[in-house]
Amino acid sequence: MVLEKGYLVLSTGDALEGKWLGASSSVEGEMVFNTAMTGYQEVMTDPSYAGQIVTMTYPLIGNYGINDIDFESGEPALSGLIISSPCYKPDHYQANSSIREIVDKFHIPTLYDIDTRALTRIIRENGEVYGKFSMSKEDKPKKAKVDAKIVDQVSVKKMIRLRTSSNQSHLTEFSKAHVVLVDFGYKHSIRHALMELGCDVTIVPYNTSVEVIKGLEPDGIVLSNGPGDPKDLDYLKHSIKKLTELYPTLGICLGHQLVAIAHGGETTRLPYGHRGSNHPVKDLTTGKVWITTQNHGYVVDMDSIDEQEWQISHINVNDRSVEGLMHREKPILTVQFHPEAHPGPIDTHLIFQDFFNRLVRKGEKQHA
């Protein structure tokens, strides 16, 4: 028998009726919403959504299908998905499966025919909301927070060495740049962006020691995005600080928050997060505003930044929150938004170029 009706029950006491897209489920998670009009495949496979039930505010999901090239990880990590109107017959030259097939293949708990506008209002008004999928509207979510060890579930277990075939490297006179990507739940687009610039990339588990990383002889370090509350990784602050002292460093999203914490900064929770692909960010060094992709619920507290040591390089135009930091002396750059984009505009790819130029400068110095 196919069980059609399902409920999303919330910690606010609300219950929304929908239908199961695949199998029924009793999954729980933190409720978040993403406002991007396209990019559902990348959102579904971004490991930063682990532990969360993602509501797509754009009503029609699935119309251009699922392809082989836009996966941001091997397997979707999100706890659940909420859709208003799924499209079962995709129309796109790259599509090779439908949203329904992918939901079945990866067992993604999904409810559709949910009033996503009403749900988004509930999340916006209450901030921290937890949800549970259920067969009964009387049910209640039990979980109070995303698991403190969530990064452990998405980070690689073993080191992965990738060699670029790009000969675009400006380092060819010396050697290619070698970047160690510390994986807190990295998106594949980060690795692609680095390799396209001519970097060899070694992906290491998030808790790899400084000694092991030193042994890899990197030219620079990238600290990736990832799920959960950055404060749960407070115990890594000494090794992260050490890495930033030893190597040119780029921190992305969770990586940015962890660099701030490692240098004495604090993080707080945003009222309801920034998740979408049109968040305006001002680059304070040039005065330019970029349209950026974002996916975060926490933010670095501006007052906790030592401005003698750090320059606040980017701020969010909507709420003035910190979007980027730059060390005044050392080659350390961090951004709260996603320069790799996917989904969303690639305008801020130049952040990777900026990081890469710092590796080049270091290489030139060493070989001078």
Tokens 């277990």 correspond to what residue? 157
Residue 309's φ and ψ, nearest 5 degrees, are -95, -35
Asked if residue 62 belongs to a known ligand binding site, the reply is no
Among 11, 295, 316, 334, binds ligand GLN (CB under 6 A): 295
Interatomic CA distance for residues 39 and 31, integer angstroms: 19
At 267 the three-state DSSP class reads strand
| Catalytic residue status for 192 | no
Q: What tokens appear for 325 in the block?
A: 């930091």
The closest alpha carbon to 51, from 190, 135, 153, belongs to 153
Nearest residue (CB) to ligand GLN, 24 versus 304 = 304
Asked if residue 78 belongs to a known ligand binding site, the reply is no
| Beta partners for residue 234, in sequence order | none
| Catalytic residue status for 340 | yes
Among 22, 39, 228, 265, binds ligand GLN (CB under 6 A): 228
Asked if residue 131 belongs to a known ligand binding site, the reply is no
Interatomic CA distance for residues 107 and 128, integer angstroms: 26
List CB contacts of 64: < 8 A, sequence separation 6 or more.
38, 90, 91, 92, 95
Nearest residue (CB) to ligand GLN, 134 versus 224 = 224
Asked if residue 273 belongs to a known ligand binding site, the reply is no
Q: What tokens appear for 101 in the block?
A: 């097939």
Report the nearest approach of ligand GLN to the CB of residue 154 (Å): 11
Asked if residue 298 belongs to a known ligand binding site, the reply is yes
Nearest residue (CB) to ligand GLN, 51 versus 248 = 51
Among 29, 131, 297, 363, binds ligand GLN (CB under 6 A): 297
The H-assigned helical ranges of the chain are: 40-45, 99-105, 116-126, 150-154, 188-196, 210-215, 237-246, 254-262, 350-367
Candidate segments 192-200, 203-211, 224-232, 300-308, binder of ligand GLN by CB under 6 A:
224-232
Report the nearest approach of ligand GLN to the CB of residue 31 (Å): 13
**51 and 76 Cβ atoms separated by less than 8 Å:** no
DSSP 127-180: SS-EEEEES-TT------S--TTHHHHHS-SS-EEE-------TTTTT--EEEE
Interatomic CA distance for residues 269 and 228, integer angstroms: 11
Is residue 45 at the binding interface for ligand GLN, with CB under 6 A as the rule? no
Is residue 296 at the binding interface for ligand GLN, with CB under 6 A as the rule? yes
Report the nearest approach of ligand GLN to the CB of residue 242 (Å): 21
Asked if residue 22 belongs to a known ligand binding site, the reply is no
Is residue 344 at the binding interface for ligand GLN, with CB under 6 A as the rule? no
Among 225, 249, 313, 348, binds ligand GLN (CB under 6 A): 225
Other Cβ atoms less than 10 A from the Cβ of 90: the count is: 19
Is residue 337 at the binding interface for ligand GLN, with CB under 6 A as the rule? no
Is residue 154 at the binding interface for ligand GLN, with CB under 6 A as the rule? no
Candidate segments 7-15, 159-167, 221-229, 323-331, binder of ligand GLN by CB under 6 A:
221-229
Report the nearest approach of ligand GLN to the CB of residue 159 (Å): 21
Q: Which of 253, 263, 323, 327 is catalytic?
A: 253
Is residue 254 at the binding interface for ligand GLN, with CB under 6 A as the rule? yes
| Catalytic residue status for 253 | yes
Nearest residue (CB) to ligand GLN, 208 versus 224 = 224
Residue 74 per-residue DSSP state: S
Report the nearest approach of ligand GLN to the CB of residue 95 (Å): 26
Q: Which residues are catalytic?
A: 253, 338, 340
User: What are the residues binding ligand GLN (CB under 6 A)?
Assistant: 48, 225-228, 230, 253-254, 295-298
